[in-house]
Amino acid sequence: GSGPATEPAAGPAANGPAKAVLQTDWYAQPEHGGFYQALAKGFYAEEGLDVEIRPGANMNAIPQMVALGRVDFALGAMDSLVIQRARGIPLVSLFPYFQHDPQCVLFHPQSGIKRLEDLDGREVMFQPGMIYTDFLQRAMGLDLKLLPMDWSLARFTNDESFVQQCFLTSEPVVLRRQGFDPGVIPMSESGFDPYRHVYANDELVATQPEMVAGFIRASIRGWRDFMNGDPTPAFGLIMQNNPQQSVALMEDTLAQMKRHSLTEGDVEAGEALGQVNLMRVRRLVQQLDDIGLLDRPVTAQEIIALSVLPASLVVGASHGPG
């Protein structure tokens, strides 16, 4: 430390708050609420962090930006990270902020779809490269005629047989406001059930474990506060970043998030906010390996940043550090 010796150089406060960038996976929306809440209420600052939340629609460059340290943290689905890890890209999962991926199938009730198996032989508009697609096709043997996702609802509203991917909390809300009553089935019902998580690169975890741990603590605190407390501070920041959000819309979304218990998962089954179950992770790895998406086998220990994750949040450790 080159700072004045009046303070112990241990804390990040020695050189002012540590800067950190969180790259989200879309424009600002309540699905990122916990992070905005943590920012708005100063939870990050309390951990000595100066966090910038950076929205964007550019999904494809984000893992590379994290791997190269251009941003510190990013949001994503754990299945992608497993595949990337297997490809030798040094990314690790920090903690899940959604216990189950809110990725769903959206359809009109008239289409007669009741289960994911009913998609067999149909045209579906999915984001190309979404790993669910491979699972549905290869593990479940469904015959899907894939259309690339265009991030619009125009065709859905025009065609009663149209089926597309959606985010549990987004498109259905928009559609209900337009007077539709769409059917929704979470993709995780397929049995392929990745977490939605925050990830970083190996180097950051290795060199600044304190900062990362602080970020995790503050984020989880933010999420807890956002889901159970008053979401207004986060709403304020979100609207400031994305004028297209309105309080009403955000409340609808939040209600959906609560209804589906996105952050806490199935509490009765022992799931909790921020918790990672290594059994689930192993199953996920196994499933990915079974459908041939892994270049090499990877272990749960490689994928999860156990060194910075509070032990209380890790379950299912059959061996290795707890």
Partner 1 sequence: MNKPAAKSLPWRALAWPSAFGIAMLALWYAAVLWGGLPEYQLPAPHRVVAEGLNEAPTLWSGLLQTLYACVLGFTASVAGGLLLSILLASSNWAYQGIYPYVLMLKMMPIIVLAPIIIIWFGQGIASITVITFLICFFPIVANTTMGLRSIDRDLAALFQVYAATPAQSLLHLRIPAALPYFFTGLKVAAALTPIGALYGDTVAGMGSGSQAGLGFVVVIFSSQLKVPALYAAAFTACAIGFLFVGLVNLLSWWALRRWHESYLGEEA
CB of 84 to partner 1, least distance (A): 5
Nearer to partner 1, 53 or 306 (CB): 53
Phi-psi region of 82 (alpha: psi -120 to 50; beta: other; left: phi over 0): alpha
Residues of the shown chain interacting with partner 1 in the complex, contacts defined by CB under 8 A: 26-28, 54-61, 63-65, 67-68, 70, 80, 83-84, 87-89, 123, 126-130, 144-148, 150-155, 157-158, 170-171, 174-175, 178, 240-244, 293
CB of 51 to partner 1, least distance (A): 14
CB of 229 to partner 1, least distance (A): 24
Nearer to partner 1, 129 or 270 (CB): 129
Nearer to partner 1, 140 or 146 (CB): 146
Q: Specify the DSSP class assigned to residue 309.
A: S
Cβ atoms of residues 197 and 77 within 8 Å: yes
Nearer to partner 1, 57 or 269 (CB): 57
CB of 59 to partner 1, least distance (A): 7
- Max Cα–Cα distance, the chain, nearest Å: 72
List strands edge to edge, sheet with 123-126: 145-148, 123-126, 164-167, 103-107, 183-186
H or E element in which residue 197 lies:
strand 196-201
Cβ atoms of residues 127 and 104 within 8 Å: no
List strands edge to edge, sheet with 91-98: 49-54, 18-23, 73-77, 196-201, 91-98
Nearer to partner 1, 14 or 239 (CB): 239
CB of 6 to partner 1, least distance (A): 36
